């Protein structure tokens, strides 16, 4: 019975299972295999900072979502709370589109603002190589979309609770336009907007309801 249920989960939710599996695998390698120096080297290589985006934007954007500096257990749970409901609501491919758009826009806009401030002399050159890894943009978008559009009151409230618990950390530094905080806000807004767009597209493709049969009384009156 347990294996049958696991099989159904794998067939129904390949996207969240794959994402969480890859993140957990990288976490295990970081924690159990790599020495401290190598762990820092992996973080530096995967960081979506200005230096890495200039030379390897695609690889950096992909890798950064599966590497974290710490708190991997909390991140793993939070991502799961968001990903499963949005996959249930929109399907695997559309859920991928939602989190991918949020991760990419969160990164590019936050780093773009950092670049503008750097060129204006408001930041030091060290901002080019700051560590910037983790699935936090993914979980921001997923939690917001799960709360706004998910099925079931319990799932939506759980997503809201997860967001409320993490919000003080996710939004820390927003007033000073720190990269991570700006990226989190952008990812949340993207999750909400893309989720809404997916709902609109879904409703447009729904078959139109058949017209109700005419009432015999109405037919008699017309006659």
The rounded percent of the chain whose pLDDT value lies above 70 is 90
pLDDT reported for residue 223? 44
Residue 32 to residue 196: CA distance in whole angstroms: 41
Q: For residue 2, what pLDDT band results from cuts at 50, 70 and 90?
A: low
What mean pLDDT is reported for the chain? 90
**Residue 139, CB-side half-sphere exposure with 13 Å CA sphere:** 29
pLDDT reported for residue 207? 64
Say whether pTM exceeds 0.85.
yes
DSSP-derived letter for residue 1 is -
pLDDT reported for residue 208? 53
Note whether 184 and 140 are within 8 A (CB): yes
Tens-digit pLDDT profile for residues 121-130:
999 999 999 9
Q: For residue 218, what pLDDT band results from cuts at 50, 70 and 90?
A: very low
Q: For residue 9, what pLDDT band results from cuts at 50, 70 and 90?
A: confident
């Amino acid at each position: 019975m347990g294996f049958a249920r696991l099989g159904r989960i794998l067939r129904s939710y390949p996207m969240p299972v794959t994402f969480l599996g890859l993140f957990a695998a990288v976490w295990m390698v970081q924690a159990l295999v790599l020495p401290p120096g190598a762990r820092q080297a992996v973080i530096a290589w995967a960081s979506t900072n200005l230096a890495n985006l200039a030379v390897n934007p695609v690889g950096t954007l992909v890798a950064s979502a599966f590497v974290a500096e710490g708190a991997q257990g909390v991140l793993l749970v939070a991502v799961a709370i968001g990903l499963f409901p949005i996959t249930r609501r929109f399907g695997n491919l559309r859920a991928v589109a939602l989190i991918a758009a949020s991760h990419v826009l969160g990164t590019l806009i936050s780093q773009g603002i950092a670049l503008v401030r750097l060129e204006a002399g408001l930041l030091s050159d060290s901002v080019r190589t700051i560590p910037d890894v983790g699935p936090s943009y993914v979980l921001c978008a997923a939690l917001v979309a799960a709360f706004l559009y998910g099925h079931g009151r319990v799932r939506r409230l759980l997503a809201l609770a997860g967001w409320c618990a993490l919000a003080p950390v996710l939004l820390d530094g927003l007033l000073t336009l720190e990269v991570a905080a700006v990226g989190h806000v952008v990812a949340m807004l993207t999750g909400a907007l893309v989720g809404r767009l997916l709902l609109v597209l879904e409703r447009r493709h729904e078959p139109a309801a058949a017209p109700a049969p005419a009432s015999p009384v109405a037919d008699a009156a017309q006659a």
